[in-house]
Amino acid sequence: MISIQNVTKQYANQVIFNNVTFNINSGERVGLVGRNGHGKTTLFRLIEGEEECDTGTISIPKDYKVGYLSQHIKFTKPTVIEEGCLGLPDDKKNDQWKVEKILSGLGFSENDMLRSPSEFSGGYQIRLNLAKVLAAEPNMLLLDEPSNFLDIVSIRWLENFLNSWKGEVLIISHDRMFMDKVVTHIVGIHRCKAKKIAGQTQKYYDQIDKEEDVYEKERLNEEKKRKQTEEFITKFRAKARLASLAQSRVKALEKQERKEKLEGIEDFSFSFNHSPCPGKYAQEARNISFSYDGKEPFLVDNLEFTVERDDKICVAGKNGKGKTTLLKMLASKLQPISGEIKSHPQTKIAYFEQANTVYLDDTKSVEEEIASAGENIERKRARDVCGSMMFSGDLALKKIAALSGGEKCRVLLGKLLLAPSNLLMLDEPTRHLDMQSCEAMTDAIKSFPGAAVIVTHNEYILHKIATKLVIFSKDKVSLFRGTYEEFLDQVGWEDEENPAPTNKNKPKKSGDVKKASRKTRAEFYAKRSKILSPFKKKIESLEKTIEKLELDLAGNNQALIKASEDQDIAAITKLGKEQKELRNCIDDLYNDLDETTTDFEKESANFEQEEKEFVNEQ
């Protein structure tokens, strides 16, 4: 177990954490969420020992080993497999097969393992670092955006690997679906505090929203009561008969802690500037092929598809197979060696690529760079776009040279917003965004009236917006007409241990399943229902009780306000005592609900694993 107690950390006048406390218990896989710049990576550095707390303690048991995925590249061995084996524990130095299995899962071929690490791109070098961390079998994994440089097949492999991990995991990821598939708990950093819950990201965000809504209602009620008390003091202070009562109100008011209004947190929100396109099709790719040397094998070979005016097409598959190359051809940055790409005369393309940040002018401010996206752009318009990209106020005057990689990507997106378009071409637009910003981006793409072609490894985006898919798999590229869920159900990804069955292999009727299998299946689900039903009933009962008590608490608040208006001291005392008892009872019920939910989720996870094994046996 790792214990984080009363930790405070700040840089100059910026407070990152203020009195943060939580534990990571045995076997927990914890997702760390929060806005960019709110301290997620700082917390990793504190646990790893790269930085020190200003106050508070981080307690790590003796001989407890922490494996940290570093973005720092430093290799000493001549081949990938030898470098990967450096991660093996001292007593398992001969277990090369384990490293080979991990490297294969992360996308390295057998030939790749014999190549020098220096021959690979930065993304694959980070994968090699990840392989070393996983091979080391530490007690705890610290993974900071592990999916950033992984393709979708490797991400799905990593999900399975982490779900079978016996130790602890603390993970940062902007990929919400990846995180939700892996974690047992969420720790959220919000307003310089940390809150831990059992469950997934949506439960955490719902709870934060609810708590802040309750806080604001209580603050407004208290402000109303304070105003009434101040009016009473002003009215009766000069009257001898009520002077003592007024004075007691003054003292009570001085002792009362005042709830401050919560500061607004800036959201990443925007919409693309749509230019209508009258044609049915925005673009057509007719039998296009491409390779950089003009020879076979082609990265793209004889591909044909159309982009209808409101299509949302996602391009997915392994890295290095041609996804970005295809997007460059569609955006007219590259020309196919055969075939034709034809756009409607009124098609207007907005193209986003991570590498384009090199073309930003380091000497310009954010505002100046965004304003340079077109002619005669007014300052107010440029400032509005700066604000939507989270560069409000003086941040808009920050020089491009001083920005991080993620901030530069936001500047590129800002420039993209100023140009009217009806066909978006986006290459991994969410890589440098936090989880909330990813959702804002996804919503903006989904609601865009025009068409979009997006290269992404993020399964949340694939599930939410894809109407068609261009899939790079099994050394070929093809169009799938359907949603991502339909693709997984009908085709599935290559190189997975349990690929999805194809339509060809699916039984046409339930009668095709043997009677013995039916009986075994029924027994399995009956057992699961018997174990899980009591948890479900208790959770439902607790939730109903909490809902009733919260209604009682709201009624108590209203009665307390009225009693205060009527100056009914006896009623105020009685209602105040009842309110305290209600709050204590609700807190106890929430704790019981968290514990029951945790137990339920653990039992459910056990049955999910048993179900996989059961299905494979069948």
**Of 34, 4, 30, nearest in space to 19 by CA:** 4
Percent of the chain surpassing pLDDT 90: 40
Question: What's the rounded Cα separation, in Å, for the pair 65 and 61?
Answer: 9
Choice among 7-16, 172-181, 292-301, 494-503 with the minimum mean pLDDT: 494-503
Residues whose CB is less than 8 angstroms from the CB of residue 610 and which lie 6 or more positions away in sequence, other chains included:
524
Give tens-digit pLDDT for 458-478: 999 999 999 999 999 888 899
Choice among 118-127, 363-372, 441-450 with the minimum mean pLDDT: 118-127
Question: What's the rounded Cα separation, in Å, for the pair 58 and 39?
Answer: 16
- Pairing status of strand 185-190 against strand 193-198: antiparallel
Q: Distance from CA of residue 207 to its chain's centroid?
A: 17
Q: Which helix (H) or strand (E) holds 9?
A: strand 2-11
**Of 290, 284, 358, 281, nearest in space to 323 by CA:** 290
Residue 504, pLDDT above cutoff 50 = no
* DSSP conformation class of 321: S
Provide mean pLDDT across the span 194-216.
90
Q: What pLDDT is attached to residue 608? A: 66
CB 423 within 8 A of CB 453: yes
Q: What is the pTM of this model?
A: 0.69
Provide mean pLDDT across the span 415-442.
86
Give tens-digit pLDDT for 250-272: 787 877 778 888 876 666 667 78
Q: Which range, 394-398, 431-435, 573-577, is most confident? A: 394-398
Question: What's the rounded Cα separation, in Å, for the pair 334 and 618?
Answer: 49
CB 276 within 8 A of CB 418: no
